């Protein structure tokens, strides 16, 4: 049973919950190792403790590491062009703003003051440096959607940027996971919700890669199925609880209702992704429907994360 007291217990719990599927899907466990083209603002908490906001902001960078390649792939392939363009533009702007907020503070995002921990500052500055060429390539695709070289540069960096944003998140969590700033049990919940946002857009990216025929379709299809399993396991754990892993049932009615909303009609998305994984061609309309529905679910997951942020600070 997880004791929820240490950084290592959280790593152990998450690895146990999702098993080898995490590593097999290319989504590392925590170790030291839309038609809705916007993201909700982070909630502003009291000035004395913004630990939850910083963790959610760092988690947002991890999610954007998957959201950006998904949008690039759809825009490059001419699928849901307007939606993909809007999401890509906003994602680039959001990455810039959130990274800057974590480094220098941004009260409008609830991140109060500059980061004071030298190790976190060093890692964040390195991450911003690594982000620069991805940012440039994303802007190139926005201006020239048919630019295959820029699109491929983003695809090639997908795993690297995911790994770097995840490691940064893990280190930041390790610094802020203490009883005076954020309970480990609350951080566990924020981690699972954040994982759902990441895997949601990983599914969108994998589906696009399968029908683009620009990658190893069999490998991508396998990754898609494993990623979907992680997503669904996360949703189940949050919806009904998994006490042995330190995950309690929904702590409030509004959180329970939001989880129901996220789970509503998921079977239709699941079934469509199963078809994609087989390599069977689906229509342009179905591809656009799938990308849009995943974006709608992502928006709901972001709202859920805000609710868990408030719970972490016991704001009801």
Token code pair at residue 53: 């906001």
- Give residue 39's pLDDT: 43
Q: Is residue 23 part of a domain?
A: no
Q: Is residue 31 part of a domain?
A: no
Q: Is residue 36 part of a domain?
A: no
pLDDT digits (tens, 9 = 90+) for 225-253: 999 999 999 999 999 998 887 888 999 99
Token code pair at residue 31: 């170790």
| Burial grade of 221 (CB within 10 A; 0-12, 13-18, 19 or more) | buried
What angle in degrees, to the nearest 10, is found between the helix axes of 51-77 and 148-176?
170
- Give residue 37's pLDDT: 42
Q: Is residue 74 part of a domain?
A: yes
How many domains does the chain fold into?
1
| SS3 category, 313 | coil
Q: Is residue 16 part of a domain?
A: no
pLDDT digits (tens, 9 = 90+) for 180-214: 456 777 878 888 999 999 999 999 999 999 988 76
Those residues of the chain that have pLDDT short of 70 are 1-49, 177-182, 214-215, 314-316
Range of the domain at 292: 47-312
- pTM, entire model: 0.84
- Give residue 59's pLDDT: 92
Tell me the helices (H) and strands (E) count for the chain, helix number first.
11, 0
- Give residue 185's pLDDT: 78
Q: Is residue 235 part of a domain?
A: yes
pLDDT digits (tens, 9 = 90+) for 52-67: 789 889 999 999 999 9
Q: Is residue 8 part of a domain?
A: no
Bridge partners, residue 26, by sequence: none
**Token pair 């209702």 is at which residue?**
257
Q: Is residue 183 part of a domain?
A: yes
Handedness of CA 131, 27, 174, 300 (dihedral sign): positive
């Amino acid at each position: 049973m997880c004791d929820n007291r240490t950084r290592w217990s959280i790593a152990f719990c998450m690895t146990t919950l999702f098993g080898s599927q995490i590593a097999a899907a290319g989504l590392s466990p925590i170790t030291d190792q839309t038609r809705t083209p916007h993201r909700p603002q982070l909630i502003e908490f009291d000035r004395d403790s913004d630990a939850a906001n910083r963790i959610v902001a760092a988690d947002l960078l991890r999610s954007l590491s998957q959201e950006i390649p998904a949008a690039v792939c759809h825009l490059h392939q001419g699928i849901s062009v307007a939606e993909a363009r809007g999401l890509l533009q906003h994602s680039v702007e959001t990455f810039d703003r959130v990274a800057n907020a974590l480094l220098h503070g941004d009260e409008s995002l609830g991140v109060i003051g500059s980061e004071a921990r030298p190790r976190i500052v060093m890692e964040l500055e390195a991450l911003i440096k690594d982000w620069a060429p991805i940012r440039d390539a994303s802007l190139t695709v926005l201006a020239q959607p048919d630019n295959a070289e820029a699109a491929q540069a983003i695809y090639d960096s997908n795993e690297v940027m995911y790994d770097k944003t995840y490691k940064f998140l893990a280190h930041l969590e390790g610094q802020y996971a203490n009883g005076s700033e954020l309970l480990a049990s609350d951080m566990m919940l924020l981690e699972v919700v954040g994982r759902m946002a990441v895997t949601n857009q990983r599914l969108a990216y994998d589906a696009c890669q399968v029908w683009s025929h620009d990658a190893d379709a069999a490998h991508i299809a396998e990754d898609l199925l494993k990623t979907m399993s992680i997503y669904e396991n996360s949703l189940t754990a949050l919806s009904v609880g998994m006490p042995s892993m330190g995950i309690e049932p929904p702590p409030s009615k509004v959180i329970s209702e939001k989880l129901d909303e996220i789970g509503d009609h998921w079977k239709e998305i699941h079934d469509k992704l199963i078809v994609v994984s087989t390599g069977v061609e689906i229509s342009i309309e179905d591809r656009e429907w799938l990308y849009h529905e995943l974006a709608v679910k992502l928006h709901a997951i972001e709202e859920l994360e805000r609710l868990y942020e408030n719970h972490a600070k016991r704001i009801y």
